[in-house]
Amino acid sequence: EARVTVPLLQQWKTEGRRLVMTTAYDAATARIADPVVDLILVGDSVGNVCLGFDNTLPVSMAMMNHHLEAVTRTRPRALIVADMPYLSFHLSAEETLRNAGGFMQRGASAVKLEGGAKRLDMVRALVDCEIPVMGHLGLTPQSVNVMGGFKVQGRAADDALRLLDDAHSLEAAGCFALVLEGIPTELAARATESLRIPTIGIGAGPDCSGQVLVFHDVLGLLQGHKAKFVRSYVDGFGVLQDALSRFAEDVRGGAFPTAQESYRLPEALRAAVAA
C-alpha cells in the first residue's frame, strides 16, 4: 500500500475514514504494526513500556533517537511520528528546532509535543521550519506532577473551555493533527467537529477522527493496572510466558534441541573428533 502522508490524513478526516495509530519502539514492533496501522508513534511511553521508568519524565533525546532510528530503519509505509520528550521543546526555539530537526533527519515524518497555549511559540517555530507538528492535549503525561497523578482532564467548566481554546490555537499555529488524551467524550466530540484537522483519541471516547493505543497495551504485554480506556486483544504476557515455559521445560527435560535442530560434522571427520 502507498505511504501515508500528512496531507492524506486531512483528506481521510474529510472522507470520514477513521485514523489508526499505535506505538512502536524498535524494528520488531514497527514491522508488526506497519502493515496494519496508518501512523506509528515512537512515543516517549518507551520510558514506562521498555525502559522501566515510572513515568515519561526521565526520557531523553538520546533515548528517543536510539528507538526512532530502530523504527525508521525498517522503512515503514505508515507515517512515523516522533514524540518530543520532556525538556526537549521547553527551553528555546533553537533547542526545540535542533531536537525536532534531528528527528526528521533520522527519518521521522512529523513530531508530537504535549501542551497548549504555553507551547504555541514552539509549534510555530517548528512549522516555520517545515516540520509537521502533532499536538497533544488533555491528560498529558509529562504534566503528571502538576496534575497530581494520571487523572482525567477537562471535567471542570473552565478546564473544558481552555482545552477547546488550546485545540483551536494549535490548529491556527499549524498543527496537522491533535492527540486528545483522557478527556470526557463530549469534549473530544466538540473539539473534533469544530476543528478542521483530525483528532486522535486515547481515553477520549468514540467521536474522535481516529484512535491510538500503546502497542504493548493492545497486545496485553504489560502487567499491573490497566486504564479504563485500554482494550487488550490478546493476553500477550500470558501467551509469551507460556511459550517461554515450554522452551524451558524442553531444555530441562533434554527435548531441545533435537538432531534436526543441530549441525553435524562431515561423516569422514566424525571418528577423529570422537577419539
Give Cα separations from 211 to 93, 115, 178, 180, 261 (angstroms).
30, 19, 11, 9, 43
> CB under 8 Å to 128, separation ≥6 — which residues?
none
Active-site residue identified among 94, 181, 186, 261: 181
Do residues 215 and 193 make contact, with C-beta atoms less than 8 angstroms apart?
no
Please give the radius of gyration of the chain, using alpha carbons only, rounded to the nearest integer.
22
The item of ligand KIV, Na ion, none sharing an interface with residue 63, based on CB under 5 to 8 Å by kind, is none
Annotation marks residue 130 as catalytic: no
DSSP string, 23-76: E--SHHHHHHHTTT-SEEEE-TTHHHHTT--SSSTT--HHHHHHHHHHHHTT--
114 is known to lie in a ligand binding site: yes
120/135 Cα distance (integer angstroms): 10
Site string for ligand KIV, 183-212 (x = CB under 6 A): -------------------x---------x
Nearer to Na ion, 76 or 141 (CB): 141
Point out which span in 1-9, 38-46, 237-245, 254-262 binds ligand KIV (CB under 6 A): 38-46
> Per-residue contact track with ligand KIV, 1 to 30, x per CB under 6 A?
----------------------x-------
Q: Which of 25, 33, 40, 43 binds Na ion (CB under 5 A)?
A: 43
Comparison of 213 and 270: residue with beta carbon closer to ligand KIV: 213
Our CB check for Na ion shows the closer of 120 and 212 to be: 212
Which listed range, 43-51, 65-73, 168-176, 243-251, lies at the site for ligand KIV (CB under 6 A)?
43-51
Choose which of 68, 179, 183, 218 interacts with ligand KIV (CB under 6 A). 179
- Asked whether position 181 contacts Na ion by CB under 5 A, the answer is no
- Smallest gap from residue 248 Cβ to ligand KIV (A): 32
Binders of Na ion among residues 78 to 107 (CB under 5 A) are 83
What is the footprint of Na ion within residues 54-83 (CB under 5 A)?
A: 83
CB 201 within 8 A of CB 167: no
Binding site for Na ion (CB under 5 A): 43-44, 83
Annotated binding site for 3-methyl-2-oxobutanoate: 44-45, 83, 112
Annotated binding site: 44-45, 83, 112, 114
